[in-house]
Structure 1
Amino acid sequence: MRYISTITLLAISHLLSPAKDITGTLIDETGQPASFVNVILMKDSTFIDGKTTDDTGLFIFENADSLANKVKITMIGYEDMMLPIPENGNYNTISLKPSTVMLGEVVVKGDLPSTRIKGNAFVTRVENSILSTTGSANDVLKNIPMVTGTDGKFSVFGRGDAIIYVNGRLVRSSDEVGQLSSGDIKEIQVINNPGAQYGANVNAVIRIVTKKPVGEGFSVSAYTDNIYNKWFTTKEQLNLKYRTGGLEIFGMGYFRHGKTYDEEYTLTTSYGKSLLEMISDQSVSTTQSDITGKIGFNYQLNENHSLGAYYQHDYNRGHHFGHYLNDIKENEELFESSVSDLKGWFKALPCNSANIYYNGTIGKFTVDVNADYMQTKDNDRSYQYEQNESSDNRNVTTFNTTRNRLFAEKASISYELPKGNILIGEEYTNSRSRNDFRNPESILNSELTDVRESNMGVFAEVSQTFGKFSATAGARYKHVKSDYRLNGRFVDGQSKTYSNLFPSANLT
């Protein structure tokens, strides 16, 4: 009875707690305002919201979630700070503490990255800053204002998940971000109000711009990353480059092997005519190996024209073992119990991907063309033994084969205005996904699904700068056709054909 009363009081307390603003001003060691510092609102270790300080060092969370109990302040070159929220929500002035040692070297002010606003983007310089020595693009993005995330999956404060571009090419695999060296990055552009050149479902965009190749001859670089979390995971990467004239030929080899372990315990309590408790206790260990090989070239014909291409070959395989316990109690007496042990194996047959691009400038016109092709095949099989007190024990065997194919291209041309530009372009994607699922015991339905989709879009956008203000307006037309087939039969309800027009406007 006390347990129920405690839960009820906590719920009422949360509902009655008035929302309040949480604010403060950050200064550096010289007393100057610290701008573009990430301030994260948290409940224990859970992310709630994020802000970035303005040019006066001010941050403010208006009507902040009453569950929040601390803020985390992060900026490369300074010590991370974790501060409890004051009762009135006002931190007044917070002084950042310089990190005297980073990556084994003394940090000087000139080594710190700078961030500026350019049009509708927040641009952070990476080249010649300490960010260029952090390791991979993953490590760089963790330290960019307004950005949070890890392992190729990042989001932007107030906008949600972001898509990532490298030199105008959409990144389609999260592994690719970890394979890009921080030393090859020139700058990071964060766009929290994407315009018409991006799809209507895009919340935010992160654009990575790499440095232009310099020098002549042969170069070798290696990268290693080892993580321990009950077991070791190792990542090894070797990069080879040869440059002569305007031609760069490159190759990359990547290997990752590791074992991970995850545990999760969940208790769900329901109050009604009786007290119901649903307990889920599961543990899963996974061992996986990945191998990637990549070869390609970049050719700069002159300062106004460049083109290139690459081919990439990926292979991965692994296995996982899981133990699952599910109990249901009614009025503290066991009502139902089940235990499952799962063994699974997965293998991605060699996956192939390729890209070709061209960038050119003719007078005030700039042309950008990118095309991608990707083909994958994944095989999964699992064996699960289920023990259930209310029914017979059983074995469940599943086999699953998934084949994916994708072709995508995007082309745009822009014209430079005195204080802005005009951009027009088109984008086309054609994909097919085929999934063959089998269960020999016929406990689950075996089915073959085949989804084919084509997506075409055209867009136009105008941007102009007026003093300290920048305005962008545009529109995007989208046409989608999708065919869904189940066991060889066309399913009208899940197939679709539609067109939409999406206008957009932004003022910063």
Structure 2
Amino acid sequence: MRQILFFLLCLCAASILPAQTYTGKVTDEKNQPLPYANVVLLSLPDSAFVTGTVSDESGAFALKTNRDNLLLRISSIGYATIYNKVDKPDLGTIQLLPDAQLLGEVVVKGDLPKVQLKGDAQVTNVTGTILEKAGTGNDLLSKLPGVSAEEGTVNVFGSGTAEIYINGRKMRNASELDQLSSDNVKRVEVVHNPGARYDATVKAVVRIYTKKAQGEGFGFNNRFLTRYYYGWNVLDQFNFNYRKGGFDLSGMLFGSKTEGEDNKTGVFETFLDNTWRQESSISTTGGSRNISTMLSLNYQFNENHSAGARYDFNRTPKDWWNINMYLQVFRDGSLYEENTSRGWQRTPATTHSFNAYYNGQAGDWNIDFNADGMWSYSKTLQDMTEEYTPIGEALQEQNVTSYNKDENTLYAAKLIISRPLWNGNLSFGGEYTYTDHTNTYINDQGILDDDHSNIRENAASAFLEYSRSFGKLQAQIGVRYEHLASDYYENEILVDEQSRTYDNVFPTFALSLPVGKTQLSLSYTGSIYRPTYYMLRSNITYANRYTYESGNPLLRPSIINRLSLDASWKWIYFNARYTHTKDAIVNLGGTYSEDEPNIMLLSYFNKYDSDKIYATLSFSPTIGIWSPQFTLMYLQQWYMVDMPDGTRKNFNNPMGSFSWRNNFRLPWELLLDVDASLDTPGDNENGHVSEVGWALNVSLRKAFFNERLSLQLQGIDLFNSRNAWGTIYGGNRLITIDQESRRYFTLTLRYKFNATKSKYKGTGAGQEQRSRM
């Protein structure tokens, strides 16, 4: 830690060396900020390269050199290059105009790259493309190569679940993507290998930037949705905003009523002295009621300083499932017992979260500070009645009730400082998080032990990141240090064996270079996966007489190394990734006890190392009114799995995933989407997918009154063909699940009035610890 602090001090001291800083701002033909423009200083009279950079999100740039007699060159794809003589440090605002040759009819039809590589990100410009009419933020992200989004959960193929940032602020509520309209999005950046400024547990980052809001006063955006999915589901979301000068007030009111089912069949096999086989059929019906509110205040003192605060409240007063399960137990192929379970489960929950931020610019220094707090709890109450009949015996019955409560407290602060340095940009900072997680479990019948456990963690991190352009080559290098001290308590008594301290250092780098019309990017990230608190719980929960579930307080984090190569050429995009995971975490079934070996205990374990290769190839041309996108994704892994016969087998059968998305611009401003997808069998971790799964989705959208009112009708999985049938291998235990698929239809009505967007710039702190809760 001392070496890192010493390095930071040395860099800060070096920054005072005498040199002239030249600053300015790049805008487009509409005087809107133009990010990612190439800005270069050339020497006169030979026009030799001196230094260069790219403009940031606000179009601003800063270049530092001790040379004089300079020429400024600014260029960007689709705009005419300009040259200006440098005669003062403040270069002012430079406007780029469209290049008539580049923006001709040929380019509009698809020659202009839809996916570009800029720095560490895969950048998709939305403004002026068919993506503006995609619908919600979820609909938009699902149309990007290698990205899937559903109900606010975004996955990047080859990376995993992504963190979402909207205008620099971490997305806290999954409904934010649904409330976001695609026609208000300017561009989307997908980061496969997040740099040192992000927590080492972050697998991928999606950054969404919206268009600059116009006008002042009051505005609102209301969305009503109804969906038929095992019954009628409805939600209504009202967003409002008031802006006057530098003052900005915005809020959200959300309410939903959902109904649903979850039906599946399962086969559990255990190979001991006897072979036990459980064949189960599970049918559950349930629903939930949810209310959410948000209020944010923001004040922009001037273009260099802003501060604000935001409060979020989420309450689920009702969340219930009615459970029916039929089970047959076989021993060595002969029927041993029949079991019927009926009962219910209730899961109410409440979350309060608060964020305050300051964002400022002092000379060359940029300061971004965030403080966060979160308080939440959830309860799970379960009441099940089992009737079971061992062969040759009379019917028996038992009642099993349980109470489980999770309570979470989080306090966090994060500081990021950046400034130009040595013709590049230096960023450094740190983050501190304190979390307190308490789990209480009570089983009235004494079948399982009661539990009262508590995990208290202090996490501190520091990072250093430097980026610079060398001609056309953009380079970024960084390092992140993380310290985590975790204390584990049982009944308020510290358990040393389950308390841990971790110190990790994670390096990162990224290189980006255009070669002709092809853009190339290479990046590496060292990262970590920390078990969630649910995985670390010590209590055992009851499923039925033969199946229990638990966490594992002795789990270790998984260390992950990721190497990624990206390339884009016109409307073709390619990504290849390699990951190596040490101490991969998998869910396995084991023996509950030596006295009762026929009872399966499902839990989490660190098992072996894993190597995976991912590849994505996407084609996105535009042909008249038709905008197709064909994406091929490939997964190949090498992972050893324990088999029932005592041997180990390399699970390396490849998996393929294909999607064919089609958008048609029809008369009367109708937009039709027809999307098909297919997944092949193969291996992933200790699971084998046995069947092909495919789906067909259709969407029709119509807007009225200059986009103030819009209607969208969607049909998802029209043929009930998205099956999820596979087997999980874990030594002498095999688990085979066949999950039912079900089509559903959604109608969305959205109305907007002067829907100005909030200027809130809080980015949030403690996000990694929050996600583990």
- 1:137 CA displacement: 2.2
Are residues 1:446 and 2:447 paired? no
How far apart are the structure 1 equivalents of 2:195 and 2:355? 24
How far apart are the structure 1 equivalents of 2:358 and 2:145? 30
Q: Which amino acid aligns with 1:394?
A: Q
5+ long unaligned stretches in structure 2: 1-107, 512-520, 522-773
- 1:435 CA displacement: 1.6
Are residues 1:378 and 2:378 paired? yes
Kindly tell me: are residues 451 and 173 of structure 1, through their superposed partners in 2, closer, same or farther at Cα, counting changes over 3 Å? farther
- Range with greater deviation from structure 2 (151-160 or 423-432): 151-160
- 1:416 CA displacement: 2.9
Q: Show CA shifts across 1:132-191 (max 9, x none).
A: 444432222212233123122222122222222233333344344334444543322111
Give yes or no for contact 1:327–1:336 (8 Å, CA) kept in 2: yes
Are residues 1:497 and 2:501 paired? yes
| SS of aligned partner of 2:347 | strand
Q: Bigger relative contact order, structure 1 or 2, given CA contacts below 8 A and separation 6+?
A: 2
Among residues 408, 412, 415, which one is paired with 1:411 in the alignment? Answer: 415
| SS of aligned partner of 1:389 | strand
Q: Which amino acid aligns with 1:444?
A: L
Q: Which amino acid aligns with 2:208?
A: I
Identify the residue that residue 250 of structure 2 maps to in structure 1: 250
Q: Show CA shifts across 1:113-150 (max 9, x none).
A: 94322101112223454434444322222122331231
TM (norm. structure 1) is 0.73
Identify the residue that residue 353 of structure 2 maps to in structure 1: 353
Q: Which amino acid aligns with 1:328?
A: V
- 1:466 CA displacement: 2.9
How far apart are the structure 2 equivalents of 1:357 and 1:135? 31
- Range with greater deviation from structure 2 (158-167 or 213-222): 158-167
Identify the residue that residue 131 of structure 1 maps to in structure 2: 131
Identify the residue that residue 205 of structure 1 maps to in structure 2: 205
Q: Show CA shifts across 1:210-258 (max 9, x none).
A: 3444311111211122221121222211111111112121121011111
Identify the residue that residue 338 of structure 1 maps to in structure 2: 339
Kindly tell me: are residues 400 and 274 of structure 1, through their superposed partners in 2, closer, same or farther at Cα, counting changes over 3 Å? closer
Give yes or no for contact 1:319–1:345 (8 Å, CA) kept in 2: yes
- Range with greater deviation from structure 2 (169-178 or 374-383): 169-178
| SS of aligned partner of 1:493 | helix
Kindly tell me: are residues 405 and 136 of structure 1, through their superposed partners in 2, closer, same or farther at Cα, counting changes over 3 Å? farther
| SS of aligned partner of 1:131 | helix
- Range with greater deviation from structure 2 (419-428 or 190-199): 419-428
Q: Show CA shifts across 1:86-116 (max 9, x none).
A: xxxxxxxxxxxxxxxxxxxxxx969x99432
Q: Which amino acid aligns with 1:197?
A: R
How far apart are the structure 2 equivalents of 1:362 and 1:127? 32
- 1:465 CA displacement: 2.4
How far apart are the structure 1 equivalents of 2:502 and 2:380? 34
| SS of aligned partner of 2:158 | coil
Aligned length: 399
- Range with greater deviation from structure 2 (242-251 or 298-307): 298-307
- 1:479 CA displacement: 1.0
Identify the residue that residue 240 of structure 1 maps to in structure 2: 240
How far apart are the structure 1 equivalents of 2:246 and 2:109? 35
How far apart are the structure 2 equivalents of 1:280 and 1:419? 65
| SS of aligned partner of 1:139 | helix
Are residues 1:472 and 2:473 paired? no
How far apart are the structure 1 equivalents of 2:481 and 2:325? 48
Give yes or no for contact 1:113–1:130 (8 Å, CA) kept in 2: no
Q: Which amino acid aligns with 1:487?
A: N
| SS of aligned partner of 1:177 | helix
Kindly tell me: are residues 277 and 403 of structure 1, through their superposed partners in 2, closer, same or farther at Cα, counting changes over 3 Å? closer
Kindly tell me: are residues 304 and 184 of structure 1, through their superposed partners in 2, closer, same or farther at Cα, counting changes over 3 Å? farther
How far apart are the structure 1 equivalents of 2:487 and 2:401? 30
Among residues 483, 486, 489, which one is paired with 2:487 in the alignment? Answer: 483
Output aligned runs, 1:296-307, within 5 Å: 296-307=296-307
Are residues 1:427 and 2:431 paired? yes
| SS of aligned partner of 2:508 | strand
5+ long unaligned stretches in structure 1: 1-107
Identify the residue that residue 105 of structure 2 maps to in structure 1: none
Give yes or no for contact 2:179–2:223 (8 Å, CA) kept in 1: no
Give the CA RMSD over aligned residues.
Answer: 2.6
Give yes or no for contact 1:113–1:126 (8 Å, CA) kept in 2: no
Kindly tell me: are residues 270 and 433 of structure 1, through their superposed partners in 2, closer, same or farther at Cα, counting changes over 3 Å? closer
Output aligned runs, 1:66-85, within 5 Å: none
- Range with greater deviation from structure 2 (165-174 or 404-413): 165-174
Identify the residue that residue 87 of structure 1 maps to in structure 2: none
Q: Which amino acid aligns with 2:292?
A: T
Identify the residue that residue 171 of structure 1 maps to in structure 2: 171
Q: Which amino acid aligns with 1:309?
A: A
Q: Which amino acid aligns with 2:478?
A: G
Identify the residue that residue 457 of structure 1 maps to in structure 2: 461
Identify the residue that residue 157 of structure 1 maps to in structure 2: 157
| SS of aligned partner of 1:393 | strand
Identify the residue that residue 743 of structure 2 maps to in structure 1: none
How far apart are the structure 1 equivalents of 2:453 and 2:176? 29
How far apart are the structure 2 equivalents of 1:270 and 1:486? 32
| SS of aligned partner of 1:402 | strand
Work out the percentage of aligned pairs sharing the same amino acid. 36
Give yes or no for contact 1:235–1:257 (8 Å, CA) kept in 2: yes
Kindly tell me: are residues 152 and 473 of structure 1, through their superposed partners in 2, closer, same or farther at Cα, counting changes over 3 Å? same
- Range with greater deviation from structure 2 (142-151 or 250-259): 142-151
Give yes or no for contact 1:268–1:277 (8 Å, CA) kept in 2: yes
Kindly tell me: are residues 386 and 299 of structure 1, through their superposed partners in 2, closer, same or farther at Cα, counting changes over 3 Å? same
How far apart are the structure 1 equivalents of 2:374 and 2:274? 54
Q: Show CA shifts across 1:293-332 (max 9, x none).
A: 1111222222222222211221112211111222223465
